[in-house]
Amino acid sequence: MAGLRERKKQATRLAIRDAAMRLFDEHGFTATTIDQIAVAAEVSRATVLNYFATKEDIVFGDAPAAMDALREALGAGDATIAAFRAWLLALVELGGWIEPELVLQQRLAEEAPTVAARRLALHQDLARVIADALIQEFGFDRRIPATLAAASLTAAMEVVEQAAAENGGTLAQAEVERLLGDAVRFAEAGMAAMQQR
């Protein structure tokens, strides 16, 4: 029974998010109300708010779950930068990062300051998670290079997202791997240079 209940919850969550993103695309983020989303998803307003506390949460969907997965991957004891790269490539393969919807997310961030603020907060959280793992790996005395390396990896994600947005929300796996590979080499070289000081 728990499996069926979980599938129904996931289907409801997906219906709400799909309806909301369609409305955001058609009418804009600010003009779309929670009540309109509820009607389009054929659920109550309370149900929408049970699944998503804010409209911004809807825009970024499963980002918190992806962040939890990253924390778990980085806590496994592997090299942080390699674990980050593997996590991100796994997201790409699952279609959970570089996707046509990315263009809409970026457009909404340009239109609505609250969406832009949420996007920035997600990227800052990502950088903090990576920096914390690098500090754990290399020691507290390496917190500045760890923070710089984390910032460079986060910036690389933004570069990949922008390149994908300019390409209609898609980017070839090889291009994603090339861009991330460059960022990883940059971050690794920076950490190595700082360790030699």
The model's pLDDT over 125-163, given as tens digits with 9 standing for 90+, comes to: 999 999 999 998 888 988 888 898 899 888 888 887 787
The model's pLDDT over 64-85, given as tens digits with 9 standing for 90+, comes to: 888 888 888 888 777 888 888 8
Can you read off the two tokens belonging to residue 61? 């969907």
CA distances from 50 to 13, 16, 45, 55, 130 (A): 10, 11, 9, 12, 30
d(CA 126, CA 21): 23
Can you read off the two tokens belonging to residue 4? 């069926």
CA distances from 157 to 14, 21, 116, 126, 184 (A): 25, 22, 16, 10, 11
| Residues 124/166, Cβ–Cβ less than 8 Å | no
Is the pLDDT reported for residue 118 higher than 60?
yes
- CATH no. of 2-54: 1.10.10.60
What are the extents of the domains in the chain? 2-54, 62-195
pTM above 0.75, yes or no: yes
First to last CA, the chain: 59
What is the architecture of the domain spanning 62-195? Answer: Orthogonal Bundle (1.10)
The model's pLDDT over 38-73, given as tens digits with 9 standing for 90+, comes to: 999 999 999 999 999 999 999 998 888 888 888 888
